[in-house]
A and B are shown apart, each in its own frame.
Chain A
Amino acid sequence: MIKLIQENLDRQSKAVLLLSMLLQEEFSLLMNKDPHGVTRVELVIQELMRQISAERFSLRSFVQKFDSSAQRISEILPAIADEHRVVIEKTLAKIDENEQKCGVQATKNHQLAHALLEQSSSMLDFLHRQITPKDRNVYSARGRYASSTPEATLINGRL
């Protein structure tokens, strides 16, 4: 069982490392404004995330086989022999470190992608404003001039 847990964590550790590299690549593609490249990498990232999630589910089932009341690996750590525990703890620390890196990088990617989107949409907004008539006073269907902003008068309405 311990061997299975260790192998699972090893795979997760490698996967998170790969994820962090992919996110970095995505950032550089964003910097080069290559939307096709970003889409390609994003698909790979999503698939990798799915795999990591699957690994975590199976890790949980291993943990529960080890101790049916335990939910997380940290709960069974004290029960594992020293020589294995040290290795597992080291792997967990590595996963954690790479996860932090991924989190920071993902935020950076998100910010950059968002900023690029906002820049393009502000461009469109500007274009839109330019083609929208600024003067909103138009003739109504009855042929009367409908003023949207009535002029200031002392008395308003019908006499």
Chain B
Amino acid sequence: MPGVNSLLNLGTGALFASQSAIQVTGGNISNVNTPGYSRRNVRLEEGISINWKPGQIGTGVRAAEVYRNFDQFVENSYNDKASSRERWDSLYNTLSSVESLFNESKGYGINSSLTTFFNDWQDLSQRPNDAASRQQLLNDTRNMVNSLHSMQNDLVRYQQQVEDYIKQDVEQANDIMSRIADINTQINVEQIDGQNNTNSLYDERATLIRDLSKIMDTNVIDNGRGDMTITTSAGQTLVDGSKHFSLSYDGPQSQNNLTPGSNFDGQVYFDGSSEFEYTVEVATPGTVTSGAGAAQFRVSLDGGTTWLKNDDGSTKLFSARPEDGAIQVNDLKIWFGTESSSGTAPTQAFTVGDKFNITPKSALYWVQNTSTKENITPQINFAGQDNTRRLTGGTLTGLFSFRDNNVGRYKERMDAMTKELIWQTNRIHSQGAGLKAHTYMEGTSAVTSDGTALGSGASGLPFADKLQAGNSMMYFYNSTTGALASAASFGPIDFSSINPPGIENFDPAQHSLEDVAQAIDDSFGTYVDASIVNHKLQITAKSGYEFQMGTDTSGLYAALGLNTYFSGSQTSDIEINGSVNGDVDFVNAGHVNGAGEANSGDNTSALSIKEMGQKDISITTASDGTTSQTLIEYYDSTVAAVGADTGTAKFNYNFQNTLASDLNEKQQAVSGVNIDEEMSNLIKYQHSYTAAAKLITTADQMLQVLLGLKN
């Protein structure tokens, strides 16, 4: 009922409404610099109207709720772009440091040491019997080897550093996920729609989602209140209302992925580590066995997009072997065993299509529950495309790309280059002769089992695939006179008494290290004694004799590390062969000529090595395929790849950053606090407050008048 009393109520309501509006404006002003704060307003609502004469009369104003200004659509777009921005930002920052590692401008990089190495061989070819040239060659080689080692160590160090960053990110992501789930619960408890909005909780949640999106790509499905689902772009749920999932960063492991009808009862085992994930797929049916009838499998290093190939372009097939016949596939030794024992061969046969995923590195997993987890490590195939079933954004993707795709690839290229440098140099050097003949020689490359054919993947020999059928010459001299021990004291190592009988040549598919030792003893037992120590071949001259190695068409000497210049097979273990390092006379500048003599003025081998440095060599890596370049050109193209990767990362960062900041500005236009606007609101509400107070004064005066009537 309208009357003077209701006027007082009207005024009081208006006072309260203006007061709360001033309070909210004050909150806005005080939070002008608070990150993640969104501007709030009071929703004013007219009070109920009363039907009366002369008609409906209002009962004033009511402050219904405090709401926040926020655009969820813009926010989702922003988070999307921010994920990409962070990915490229972290990649660019980490790559910049690697770029300086490959910086050749100071003049003592690997390019210059490679050039010096080949120039030294040229110098030696001009003065083959000069001790100073030999010493210079050894010194410069030592520098080159050290440069390669330090490059390798630095790359590994960067990878380890990045692993620490990854661990921090995973920890932070897990923490954020649980906090978002907690907030969702709180929102569901406290929120009363249209009356009590949990604005600060919403703000806090939005900030946390921004933080999470910086770490990984997210997809937000908002069903109102606390019913929010956050998934990765690929669809793995991270938060679902009050429930949350987690990420884990786990060590190397393998998973079976058998076809539905498969009876296979074992699992894959591996030894070694690699930046790539190995997908092993059975291509020919069979069982796990050392003999015939073994199943054959193909291997992919990029999740099944491309398969490893032979030099002729056909898909490379490997046999399924038990532990004692483990097959070398790129950096890993792979074999099959039962679930409980790696040494026991499984009995059931494979079915074509059975897959095994080997993750020989620490990787990121999405943990659904205690028994199920899914590998979500970012993966880029060799064509450069992201695997969209894994993470594709955020710092985690940047860091993993850096570790696996970038540094992993550079290391692979450096290893491929070093391997070719070692092989090509050793191939020439092992057939050459120095200033002195040998009385003792020890191979530098070891096999895993002495009885396995050297050319098979199971021999464990680093250069097994380089071996060819052919023969290897040896020459024997009288140690006192230096002349050939007899007119017939030379010739190829004869394998005819070894299986298969009658064939003189070495056959990598047939002959093992034991066979080689046996064949040397059988052929030249009068002069030398061949034995196997620590899975390496040793040749010791018998008293009164010494020997030299001659032409070798099979590559046996270089593969076993006999009479070689380098030892090792990759960037981490390349060294100068111990015997050469200890005595400059064993640097083979010359060779044994047709008359069985090694002359001190001969420069054949030195010249060949110098020429090798200028020749195109086929270098194969899993990620880049086969290229034909000189070693120095190949190294330069690696440096160029580092520069190009850094450039791409920088452009992508700028690109995504521009888009993200554009969206952030759009969000700020909606939810940011404008101090001028708030000040004018403050004055507006202050005046409303004054007017409401005036209303009360007026009502009071009216009451006074009424009360005055009695006097």
Contact = CB atoms under 8 A, between A and B. Distances in A.
A33 B651 contact: no
A33 B666 CA distance: 12
Nearest to B74: A123
B200 interface: no
A31 B654 contact: yes
Interface string A105-143: 000100110011001001100100000000000000000
Contacts of B168: none
B654 A123 contact: no
B74 A108 contact: no
B348 interface: no
Given A33-B661, A119-B662, A112 B73 contact: no
Contacts of B657: 31
A21 B63 CA distance: 58
B108 interface: no
Interface size class of B (residues with CB under 8 A): 10 to 19
Nearest to B651: A108
Nearest to A28: B654
Contacts of A112: 654-655, 658
Interface string B655-694: 1011101110110000000000000000000000000000
A112 B655 CA distance: 6
A119 B77 contact: yes
A33 B655 contact: no
A92 interface: no
Nearest to B655: A112
Contacts of B74: 123
Task: Name the residue in A122, A123, A126 with the highest tally of chain B Cβ atoms < 10 Å from its Cβ.
Answer: A123
A113 to B, nearest CB: 10
Contact of A123 (B658, B661, B666): B666
B145 to A, nearest CB: 37
A95 B315 CA distance: 46
A116 B658 contact: yes
A115 B651 contact: no
B658 A31 contact: yes
B95 to A, nearest CB: 18
B659 A116 contact: yes
Interface in B614-657: 651, 654-655, 657
A119 B74 CA distance: 10
B659 A119 contact: yes
- Chain B, interface SS category: helix
B663 A115 contact: no
Contacts of B651: 108
Nearest to A32: B658
Contacts of A126: 73
Contacts of B665: 33
Contacts of B73: 123, 126
A111 B655 contact: yes
Contacts, number: 31
B490 to A, nearest CB: 57
Nearest to A30: B658
A30 B654 CA distance: 10
Interface in B328-353: none
- Tier of interface size on chain A: 10 to 19
Given A31-B654, A112-B655, A126-B73, A119 B661 contact: no
Contacts of A30: 658
B659 A115 contact: yes
Nearest to A122: B77
A114 to B, nearest CB: 11
Nearest to B663: A119
Nearest to B647: A104
Contact of B655 (A115, A122, A123): A115
Interface string A1-37: 0000000000000000000000000010011010000
Contacts of A115: 655, 658-659
A93 B68 CA distance: 60
A108 B655 CA distance: 9
A123 B663 CA distance: 10
Taking each of A33, A112, A119, A122, which has the highest tally of chain B beta carbons within 10 Å of its own beta carbon? A119
A27 B655 CA distance: 10
Interface string B66-81: 0000000110010000
Contacts of B662: 33, 116, 119
A50 to B, nearest CB: 28
Contacts of A123: 73-74, 77, 666
Contacts of B661: 33
Contacts of A116: 658-659, 662
A68 to B, nearest CB: 43
A30 B662 CA distance: 11
A122 B663 CA distance: 12
A44 B147 CA distance: 50
Contacts of A33: 658, 661-662, 665
A43 B655 CA distance: 23
B648 to A, nearest CB: 11
A30 B659 CA distance: 10
A115 B81 CA distance: 11
Interface in B48-96: 73-74, 77
A130 to B, nearest CB: 9
Interface string B433-475: 0000000000000000000000000000000000000000000
Contacts of B659: 115-116, 119
A38 B688 CA distance: 46
B27 to A, nearest CB: 29
Which of B654, B658, B661, B662 has the most A CB atoms < 10 Å from its CB? B658
A20 B74 CA distance: 34
Nearest to B660: A119
Contacts of B666: 123
Contacts of A111: 655
A122 B76 CA distance: 13
Interface string A54-97: 00000000000000000000000000000000000000000000
Nearest to A108: B651
A98 B662 CA distance: 31
A54 to B, nearest CB: 32
A135 to B, nearest CB: 20
Nearest to A107: B651
Nearest to B661: A33
B650 to A, nearest CB: 11
Contacts of A108: 651, 655
Nearest to A115: B659
A132 to B, nearest CB: 15
B55 to A, nearest CB: 34
Nearest to B73: A126
Among B74, B659, B663, which residue has the most Cβ atoms of chain A within 10 A? B659
A124 to B, nearest CB: 12
A16 B74 CA distance: 40
B505 to A, nearest CB: 54
A112 B656 CA distance: 9
A119 B81 CA distance: 10
A70 B73 CA distance: 61
Nearest to B662: A33
Max chain A CB contacts within 10 Å: which of B74, B662, B666?
A: B662
Contacts of A31: 654, 657-658
Given A115-B659, A119-B77, 10 more contacts: A27-B654, A31-B658, A33-B658, A33-B661, A108-B655, A115-B658, A116-B658, A116-B662, A119-B659, A123-B77
15 contacts: A27-B654, A30-B658, A31-B654, A33-B658, A33-B661, A33-B662, A112-B658, A115-B658, A116-B658, A116-B659, A123-B73, A123-B74, A123-B77, A123-B666, A126-B73
Interface of A: 27, 30-31, 33, 108, 111-112, 115-116, 119, 122-123, 126
Q: Which 4 A-B pairs have the closest CB atoms?
A: A31-B658, A126-B73, A115-B659, A112-B655
